[in-house]
Amino acid sequence: MRAGTGLRPLIPLLVCGVMAATAGCGGSTDEQGGESLELETKWHDRISEAVNAKPDGCKAGVGGACETHAAAVHAITERLHKEVEARPDKDRYQATLDGTTAINEQYDQYFTELCATVPETTVDAATTQKFNTCSGLYTSIITGASDLQNNLRPSE
């Protein structure tokens, strides 16, 4: 367990304790705690670790090392997507589903473009265009996963 994460489950209790003195506190499935933090608690660090595990050989979003990194991030977000799809309240997690769907589509295109074979140094217009496409897709996958960490709570 990382330093500072041990108190994370207690935050809803602290918020409820302070709010109880004024307006009261809702049940365990409201936005104050309980199920509303379930996905965030389970997936936030997993996504963060996958995003931050960028191999040394991945510098420009192309090549085998970047493809491996993109695949690892995609695997995490794909598992998250399947978990949310199986929830009875999945409609409350539309932002999460939209984010994971976008990452899935970008990864499919990244893989289809054979970005692992694109060199970091380009010598012609076609290779430069492919480099730009692959680099942009890689950036979108990684940025999308980072943004997904902010969309793990249900909507109203």
Q: Which range is least confidently modeled, 1-5, 117-121, 123-127?
A: 1-5
Cα–Cα nearest to 60, from 118, 109, 127: 118
Position 35 scores a pLDDT of 62
Average pLDDT over residues 128-132: 96
Average pLDDT over residues 107-121: 95
Average pLDDT over residues 97-119: 96
Distances (CA, A) of 127 to 25, 70, 89, 120, 138: 59, 20, 45, 10, 16
| Residues ≥6 apart with Cβ < 8 Å to 12 | 32, 33, 34, 37
Average pLDDT over residues 18-31: 37
Give yes or no for a contact between 122 and 131, defined as CB atoms under 8 angstroms apart: yes
Position 137 scores a pLDDT of 98
Q: Which residue stretches of the chain are H helix?
A: 11-20, 38-52, 64-85, 94-112, 125-148
Determine the 3-state secondary structure of 131 from DSSP: helix
As a whole number of angstroms, the distance between CA 97 and CA 84 comes to: 7
Kindly indicate the confidence band of residue 143, based on its pLDDT and cuts at 50, 70 and 90.
very high
As a whole number of angstroms, the distance between CA 126 and CA 51 comes to: 29
As a whole number of angstroms, the distance between CA 61 and CA 39 comes to: 29
